[in-house]
Structure 1
Amino acid sequence: MSGASLWPRYAGPADLAVIEAVPLADRNLPESTYALLQRAAAWWPEHPATTVLPEAARWREPVCRTFGELLADVHRYANLLRELGVRRGDAVALMAPNCADLVPATLAAQLAGVAAPLNGGLSRDHLGELLRLSGARVLITAGPELAPEVWDTARSLAAELDVVLVLRPTGAPGAPAALPAVEGVRVGYLAELASTMDSADFAGEPPVAADLAALFHTGGTTGAPKLAAHTHANEVADAWMIAANSLLDVGSVVFAALPLFHVNALVVTLLAPLFRGQHAVWAGPLGYREPELYGQFWQIVEHHRIAAMSAVPTVYAVLAQCPVDADITSLRYAMVGAAPLPAAVREAFQAHTGVTLVEGYGLTEATCASARSFPDVPRPGTVGQRLPYQRMKVVHPETGEELPGGETGVLAISGPTVFLGYVVGRDRTGYLLDGLGKLRDGWLDTGDLARLDADGFVHLAGRAKDLIIRGGHNIDPALVEDALLAHPQVTAAGAVGRPDEHAGEVPVAYVTLTPGATASEAELLAWAAGRVPERAAAPKAVTVLDALPVTDVGKPYKLALRADATRRAIAEALVAFDRVTVDAVIEDGTVLAVVTLPSEVDEPEVAAALARYAVPARLTTEGKP
């Protein structure tokens, strides 16, 4: 297939129709993520594929792999997994912070079986349930050198496993320490056990497009953990849609620092670069959570000539404060998603660096990305235009009927990236999958309120679902609510996101108490912090109410709680301005901050303070119409 056919021009909104004039089936996409890697290794065997930093302070001591070397390691690791009994429909769990060997291990798990990445920071109960759902009997995990806490968690889960394969830190010197024995479980270092395996080919049958590639856990809107099933076709199609970016050509360098248990890290910074022989530079195990990274960041950009990066808004808020002490002219644009982008963060970052922030939109159930913006054709107020071959519509939240263009409703997506469903069990034929109400006639209910314009750009208008997004991390409000409901004096609980200038949102909770209850808000706050299964979900405040708000039909009405949380946050942000009053109203399903200023207060200063929050606001001045 010609390069022009494989890579059409894709630099602006008008290119979408031209791209879709060629059916996706005629794009000659690889059959699987393995076939994608094989093609990259055949076309660019000596080109750098991955550079992984051990940590920020040692960024000049990375571990590098060419595309040929990456394929060889994937063969070795996949052949080891096959020797250990992993077959096409068997899950391989992966639980480790990013390191040099986690990249080929993830691809090897998709080659030999089905990758099931896990966030080692989740509670052990959650992780145990995810392992049970996946059916994984093999776990690839961080060893004691790489992440002692994750290793302790892995050992606590080992009784449910047959094999534990251990990863060392990137560039770890010397021979590894002996690993403790676990009764009935084979334990060993992945690289060591795979060293004698065939690196030239895979001994089993390679996967096909319809085979499952990965099971990604997602918070959903209930307390139960869920595994979203992705096929190879899902991942390859989404990766191609991202790689079909005319601004990045063969050999461009991308920076990767999100954890590989997140779909963005897998699809955007691992699979998409394989399509065009692009070089991915990976941060150390803490990724963007490593404070020392920010002091070295611009030098890393200059040294590797990084052209693009992907992160959440909080990262760009910090980088906007870091002196640019290097030549960063290679950086064409920076992608942002996973949480609302405050206007102040956009303006500060772009003014500080001269680099355009490009918003995107996606969710795990649609593999990863579903909309993108264009750095040279800005469309303020949107998260981008739908990606090629994906379809979008807006439906009525109760009837599911499609709404006319321009009206606000629930966003629905169909097309080649929509997942098959959540894992609800297994039988002798494989996984049992169910959309659990999210799928209807091939359309995915995103749970997000939005409207679409005539060019297919998505204007988000809030979330119909109740997820709290803290710094790009999804928090299920049920985690907070369940913890509070366990208190003997709590009769009802509702958790929502409160706007935060650093994290985008932080969780807060509202409760009702039994008659005569003596529990204080401080006591309830401490109670919840000690019982939520992950630290990020600990609420920042607990407010006691006489009754939680409900709709006319008696259902919980969290928009009213979000409005109250917004009012409190914005009032606190503007406390330095005398006589400013703050209210929060609900308009078209969106919480709007309404700020009234006395005539002597400088409106631009107030507007600048508000711009630090991803909250729509209306400013009025006393005495003005």
Structure 2
Amino acid sequence: MTGASLWPSYAGPADLAAIEAVPLAERGLPESTYALLRRAAGWWPEHPATTVLPEAARWREPVRRTFAELLAEVHRYANLLRDLGVRRGDAVALLSPNCADLVPATLAAQLAGIAAPLNGGLSHDHLGELLRRSGARVLITAGPELAPEVWDTARTLAAELDVVLVLRPTGASPAVPAIEGVRVGDLAELASTMDSSGFAGEPPVASDLAALFHTGGTTGAPKLAAHTHANEVADAWMIAANSLLDVGSVVFAALPLFHVNALVVTLLAPLFKGQHAVWAGPLGYREPALYGEFWKIVEHHRIAAMSAVPTVYAVLAQCPVDADIASLRFAMVGASPLPAAVREGFQAHTGVTLVEGYGLTEATCASARSFPDIARPGTVGQRLPYQRMKVVHPETGEELPGGETGVLAISGPTVFPGYVVGRDEDGYRLDGLGKLRDGWLNTGDLARLDADGFVHLAGRAKDLIIRGGHNIDPALIEEALLAHPEVTAAGAVGRPDEHSGEVPVAYVTLAPGATATEADLLAWAADRVPERAAVPNAVTVLDALPVTDVGKPYKLALRADATRRAIAEALAPFDAVTVDAVIEDGTVVAAVTLPSEVDEPKVRATLGRYAVPARLTFGETS
């Protein structure tokens, strides 16, 4: 199916109503991610599908695959997984930085079973727990030549596995390192004799699980969110429906494939229009050398669009544009709030518009998008077609009138079926864990909706600062500080207080060469924060604000720092007492070490004045 039924006009916010006048079921979407790939290979067999760079310094030596070649490789890998015993309800874990073979391996895992991508930057305990929860007995992982630290991690997880399939660079030695008690083999070598013309098993259907993605881990141990094939195909179509990118356009991909943005935005969505995805090397945007070569790569490949987090654009705004980048139509940004200084700096430096988006793993990936030629300041975009949104009261769950701020809720074809909480003979047991109610997903994000369906975010519900029973939106403080010309990022959190429960404090980063002091910024905020109770008690300058492994703001770390400072100040009269603050299951705990001669009851009495869980241990006598 082609033409208007598959690709309606979608260039501006006014197009939404016309798009939704046609039911999604009549759009002719493929049954699964595999069916999507097969269709792309049938329509554009010789068109380039993926180009993967080995590293920034060798970007002119990539591995390229056409759509037909990508499909053939997926068939080989999926047939190998089937030979190894993987069936429709079985997870295949993937633990590797981006590389040429990880792309078909991920699609093959969704064809033969269920893909379970893992972030190698997580702790071994978290990875082990995610692996056990997924039930995966087969792991596809980077070998020692590609990523030695990831290989070491894979070895520590081997006790949970039956088979380890290794991704290796071209030219690696023939021998694959052994792991006692586990079958280990080179993925490409073992798959080389497999049938490339088709899949030997039953292909997946729309309701089958396609992937298990762990969440960002901003509140303790990551959870494992299930996606169906229907979820992923629908969300990818909503992104691909963008009328600004034509068939054959080139997109740049550098986010890790354990992130839903990388999978849905830069792998699946391009399959809908035969678009060419150029992938950065294993380190992606974390490779410093990439920035020195970036504009040359854009010129060489005629990149039309890219996707990244705000910190990437802050760096690119400092990189001289030493190439012709006229092909770059727009740059997508998400995962964390976009500071005005970053937006203005990047756009002034490059002439390229930053297009904000909004989404979360539990809604597959993207739920709102902006339009490069139609500015709507203060929003992260309009809801995507066929996704419904409403704003509800944080406590009662009742829908609020239009324009009021509450918790954003989403329903529609991209909402996930739940988190993995167990497994039995019927497959995975899934549970919304309080986030799903009558088909509506509670995002945990504070927002308001305007009449055109644009989302105005106002922070995380759990990030509310509660001062003496009064709720303070941290966005009030952050927006005031971000208006300072030298502030590039800001985060406001509650600091424990014995009188008010919490008081607001803020953390910021500054532009290179900035001269503003913490006192200057505190005075700036006092003049501009519109609510007296929200004026921060302190502003602390950091080199960088903490983020999760996928680039989202990690406010728990800021709350931990604020807690440590508050408790240390309260216990300062006690000699030789040391204070730390640790994060345990999403809660900040004050860890206090006492010398043996300290008056423990008085310390406990002091701690009792703060609504902070505390753990006391005794150190050596001073």
Partners of 1:103 and 1:368 in 2: CA distance: 18
- Structure 1 position 505, deviation (Å): 5.9
Number of the residue aligned with 1:102: 102
Q: Which of 374, 381, 390 is the equivalent residue of 1:377? A: 374
Number of the residue aligned with 1:258: 255
On the 8 A contact 1:237/1:416 being kept in 2, the answer is: yes
Number of the residue aligned with 2:131: 131
- Structure 1 position 565, deviation (Å): 2.5
- Structure 1 position 275, deviation (Å): 0.2
CA deviation profile, 1:226-277 (whole Å, cap 9, x unmatched): 1000000000000000000000010000000000000000000000000000
3-state SS in 2 of match to 1:302? helix
Mapping of 1:248-397 within 5 angstroms?
248-397=245-394
Partners of 1:407 and 1:431 in 2: CA distance: 38
On the 8 A contact 1:449/1:464 being kept in 2, the answer is: yes
CA deviation profile, 1:199-243 (whole Å, cap 9, x unmatched): 000000000000000000014564233100000000000000000
Mapping of 1:17-166 within 5 angstroms?
17-166=17-166
- Going from structure 1 to structure 2, the CA distance change for 1:581 and 1:165 (only over 3 Å counts) comes to same
- Going from structure 1 to structure 2, the CA distance change for 1:316 and 1:205 (only over 3 Å counts) comes to same
Partners of 2:222 and 2:114 in 1: CA distance: 18
On the 8 A contact 2:364/2:415 being kept in 1, the answer is: yes
3-state SS in 1 of match to 2:506? helix
Number of the residue aligned with 2:421: 424
Q: Which runs of 5+ in 1 are unaligned?
A: 468-495, 511-544, 551-556, 596-613, 615-625
CA deviation profile, 1:461-496 (whole Å, cap 9, x unmatched): 1111349xxxxxxxxxxxxxxxxxxxxxxxxxxxx9
3-state SS in 2 of match to 1:197? coil
Instruction: Say whether residues 1:193 and 2:134 are aligned partners.
Output: no
- Structure 1 position 178, deviation (Å): 1.8
Partners of 1:421 and 1:17 in 2: CA distance: 29
3-state SS in 1 of match to 2:109? helix
CA deviation profile, 1:402-452 (whole Å, cap 9, x unmatched): 001000000000000000000000000000000000000000000000000
Q: Which runs of 5+ in 2 are unaligned?
A: 465-474, 539-552, 554-622
- Structure 1 position 587, deviation (Å): 6.9
On the 8 A contact 2:50/2:278 being kept in 1, the answer is: yes
Instruction: Say whether residues 1:435 and 2:376 are aligned partners.
Output: no
- Structure 1 position 90, deviation (Å): 0.2
Partners of 1:192 and 1:179 in 2: CA distance: 11
- Structure 1 position 574, deviation (Å): 4.1
- Structure 1 position 314, deviation (Å): 0.5
- Going from structure 1 to structure 2, the CA distance change for 1:588 and 1:76 (only over 3 Å counts) comes to farther
- Structure 1 position 575, deviation (Å): 4.6
Note the aligned Cα RMSD (angstroms).
Answer: 2.9
Partners of 1:287 and 1:346 in 2: CA distance: 21
3-state SS in 1 of match to 2:198? coil
On the 8 A contact 2:362/2:416 being kept in 1, the answer is: yes
CA deviation profile, 1:312-361 (whole Å, cap 9, x unmatched): 00000111111111000000000000000000111111111110000000
On the 8 A contact 1:361/1:369 being kept in 2, the answer is: yes
3-state SS in 2 of match to 1:465? helix
On the 8 A contact 1:317/1:502 being kept in 2, the answer is: no
On the 8 A contact 1:394/1:451 being kept in 2, the answer is: yes
Instruction: Say whether residues 1:244 and 2:241 are aligned partners.
Output: yes
CA deviation profile, 1:55-109 (whole Å, cap 9, x unmatched): 0000000000000000000000000000000000000000000000000000000
Instruction: Say whether residues 1:413 and 2:410 are aligned partners.
Output: yes
Partners of 1:194 and 1:315 in 2: CA distance: 36
On the 8 A contact 1:314/1:504 being kept in 2, the answer is: no
With normalisation by structure 1, the TM-score equals 0.79
Partners of 2:273 and 2:28 in 1: CA distance: 14
On the 8 A contact 2:330/2:372 being kept in 1, the answer is: yes
Partners of 1:57 and 1:42 in 2: CA distance: 34
- Structure 1 position 164, deviation (Å): 0.3
Number of the residue aligned with 1:212: 209
- Going from structure 1 to structure 2, the CA distance change for 1:405 and 1:197 (only over 3 Å counts) comes to same
Aligned amino acid, residue 135 of structure 1: G
3-state SS in 1 of match to 2:318? coil
Partners of 2:533 and 2:174 in 1: CA distance: 55
Partners of 2:521 and 2:160 in 1: CA distance: 61
Aligned amino acid, residue 351 of structure 1: A
- Going from structure 1 to structure 2, the CA distance change for 1:35 and 1:502 (only over 3 Å counts) comes to farther
CA deviation profile, 1:499-551 (whole Å, cap 9, x unmatched): 898984679996xxxxxxxxxxxxxxxxxxxxxxxxxxxxxxxxxx664954x
Aligned amino acid, residue 126 of structure 2: H
Partners of 2:182 and 2:428 in 1: CA distance: 24
- Going from structure 1 to structure 2, the CA distance change for 1:347 and 1:197 (only over 3 Å counts) comes to same
Partners of 2:109 and 2:209 in 1: CA distance: 11
CA deviation profile, 1:16-54 (whole Å, cap 9, x unmatched): 000000000000000000000000000000000000000
Partners of 2:536 and 2:41 in 1: CA distance: 53
CA deviation profile, 1:105-143 (whole Å, cap 9, x unmatched): 000000000000000011100000000000000000010
Stretches (4+) displaced over 2 A: 174-177, 219-225, 496-510, 545-550, 565-595
Partners of 1:75 and 1:380 in 2: CA distance: 46
CA deviation profile, 1:258-307 (whole Å, cap 9, x unmatched): 00000000000000000000000000000000000000000000000000
Partners of 1:308 and 1:338 in 2: CA distance: 17
- Structure 1 position 583, deviation (Å): 3.5
- Going from structure 1 to structure 2, the CA distance change for 1:312 and 1:196 (only over 3 Å counts) comes to same
Partners of 1:227 and 1:590 in 2: CA distance: 38
Partners of 2:257 and 2:142 in 1: CA distance: 13
Number of the residue aligned with 2:506: 565
Partners of 1:590 and 1:452 in 2: CA distance: 25
Partners of 2:527 and 2:395 in 1: CA distance: 25
3-state SS in 2 of match to 1:564? strand
3-state SS in 1 of match to 2:157? helix
Partners of 2:140 and 2:89 in 1: CA distance: 17
Partners of 1:212 and 1:395 in 2: CA distance: 29
3-state SS in 2 of match to 1:216? strand
With normalisation by structure 2, the TM-score equals 0.79
- Going from structure 1 to structure 2, the CA distance change for 1:384 and 1:107 (only over 3 Å counts) comes to same
Equivalenced residue count is 523
CA deviation profile, 1:547-584 (whole Å, cap 9, x unmatched): 4954xxxxxx5xx4xx3124899999445859945449
On the 8 A contact 1:448/1:463 being kept in 2, the answer is: yes
- Going from structure 1 to structure 2, the CA distance change for 1:588 and 1:21 (only over 3 Å counts) comes to farther
Partners of 2:427 and 2:374 in 1: CA distance: 46
- Going from structure 1 to structure 2, the CA distance change for 1:34 and 1:345 (only over 3 Å counts) comes to same
On the 8 A contact 1:584/1:593 being kept in 2, the answer is: no
